């Protein structure tokens, strides 16, 4: 594994290895056990979009591993003035040991990896959010004791979260059901990937059919970053695609609820469901830190010299 560009590039075994390492690093951090496995290394963090969790968890994570994080706002980089990503990649590779990027086009992340010579980590694109879904799977596994055979349900926009949850969930042996309005389905490449899983995957516009018997229900905002201009139209299109108490009544009795955050209460999730499941949702947010530390160690740790 040289990069984390999208979960489609990883095997189920590689995902599980990352989750295991995330659990181990979490244990070491909680018990004060030294795990400075990236001493002296520098991670650059390029942000073309806003962030609370991704920025803070990467910056704290690299610090806990003994390295340094460099926050690089795209507005202040020459990339924001049109310097090609091919050149930025080759320059940053001369200074940094790894780079995380949050941007719009998946191609930009792929190009950063193609033209640079250091590990690249996708911190969210319009296409996917692999770091988030590693944290999500880690959280579900922690709460449920395993993943294979559980039913993961996603309700809402067929966006970056839907794409990554479908791929990640199927690869670790979960059954995945998705409900989106017909005009907002997940990406075609993800749907063709999922079609190979037969009846372990289902896509519908009926939220009750998708949620029936679910062990964990995910949702996400109706208008992602970059789509603010469509917010009003989307509010109309997604009416009814809400995770509320009535929907949870058709799920498994001990259903978990996950939300990558930020959440819009009263839109994709009700206040009552959010607060009843807040413990699971904030465990999920915490696990961004541990899962991403695992990604950084896997990609950036150097073998001993002697």
Other CB atoms within 10 Å distance of the CB of residue 70: 16
110 is a site residue for ligand NVA (CB under 6 A): no
Q: Is 220 annotated as a binding residue?
A: yes
Distances in Å between the Cα of 102 and the Cα atoms of 76, 120, 254 are: 15, 11, 34
The residues in 4-63 that bind ligand CP, with binding defined as CB under 6 A, are: 51-54
**Minimal CB distance to ligand NVA: which residue?**
224
Q: Is 53 annotated as a binding residue?
A: yes
State yes or no: is 288 an active-site residue.
yes
Chosen from ligand NVA, ligand CP, none, partner binding at 52 (C-beta under 5 to 8 Å by type)? ligand CP
Q: Is 87 annotated as a binding residue?
A: no
Q: Is 225 annotated as a binding residue?
A: yes
Residue burial 105-133, b: 16+ Cβ < 10 Å; e: rest:
ebebbbbbbebbebbbbbbbbbbbbbbbb
Nearest CB to ligand CP, comparing residues 50 and 204: 50
Nearest CB to ligand NVA, comparing residues 227 and 276: 227
CB 160 within 8 A of CB 128: yes
State yes or no: is 220 an active-site residue.
yes
291 is a site residue for ligand NVA (CB under 6 A): no
In three-state form (DSSP H/G/I as H, E/B as E, the rest C), the secondary structure along 166-234 is HHHHHHCCCEEEEECCHHHCCCHHHHHHHHCCHHHEEEECCHHHHHCCCCEEEECCCCCCCCHHHHHHH
Residues identified as active-site: 102, 129, 132, 220, 260, 288
- The binding site for carbamoyl phosphate comprises 51-54, 78, 102, 129-132, 260-261, 288
- The binding site comprises 51-54, 78, 102, 129-132, 160, 220, 224-225, 260-261, 288
């Amino acid at each position: 594994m040289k990069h984390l560009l999208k979960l489609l590039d990883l095997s189920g075994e590689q995902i599980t290895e990352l989750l295991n390492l995330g659990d181990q690093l979490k244990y070491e951090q909680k018990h004060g056990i030294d795990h400075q496995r990236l001493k002296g290394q520098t991670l650059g963090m390029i942000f073309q979009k806003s962030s609370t969790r991704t920025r803070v968890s990467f910056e704290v994570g690299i610090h806990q591993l003994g390295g340094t994080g460099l926050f690089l706002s795209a507005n202040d980089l020459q990339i924001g003035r049109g310097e090609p990503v091919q050149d930025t990649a080759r320059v940053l590779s001369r200074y940094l040991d790894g780079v995380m990027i949050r941007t719009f086009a998946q191609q930009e992340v792929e190009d950063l990896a193609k033209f640079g010579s250091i590990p690249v980590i996708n911190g969210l694109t319009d296409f996917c959010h692999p770091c988030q879904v590693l944290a999500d799977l880690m959280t579900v596994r922690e709460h449920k004791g395993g993943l294979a055979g559980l039913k993961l349900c996603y309700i809402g926009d067929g966006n970056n979260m839907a794409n990554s949850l479908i791929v990640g969930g199927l690869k670790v042996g979960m059954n995945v059901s998705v409900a989106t309005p017909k005009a907002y389905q997940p990406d075609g490449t993800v749907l063709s990937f999922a079609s190979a899983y037969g009846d372990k995957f289902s896509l519908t516009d009926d939220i009750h059919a998708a949620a029936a018997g679910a062990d964990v229900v995910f949702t996400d905002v109706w208008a992602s970053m970059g789509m603010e201009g469509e917010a009003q139209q989307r509010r109309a299109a997604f009416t009814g695609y809400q995770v509320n108490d009535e929907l949870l009544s058709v799920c498994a009795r001990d259903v978990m609820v996950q939300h990558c955050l930020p959440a819009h209460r009263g839109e994709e999730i009700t206040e009552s469901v959010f607060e009843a499941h807040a413990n699971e949702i904030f465990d999920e947010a915490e696990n961004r830190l541990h899962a991403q530390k695992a990604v950084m160690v896997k990609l950036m740790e150097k073998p001993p010299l002697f």
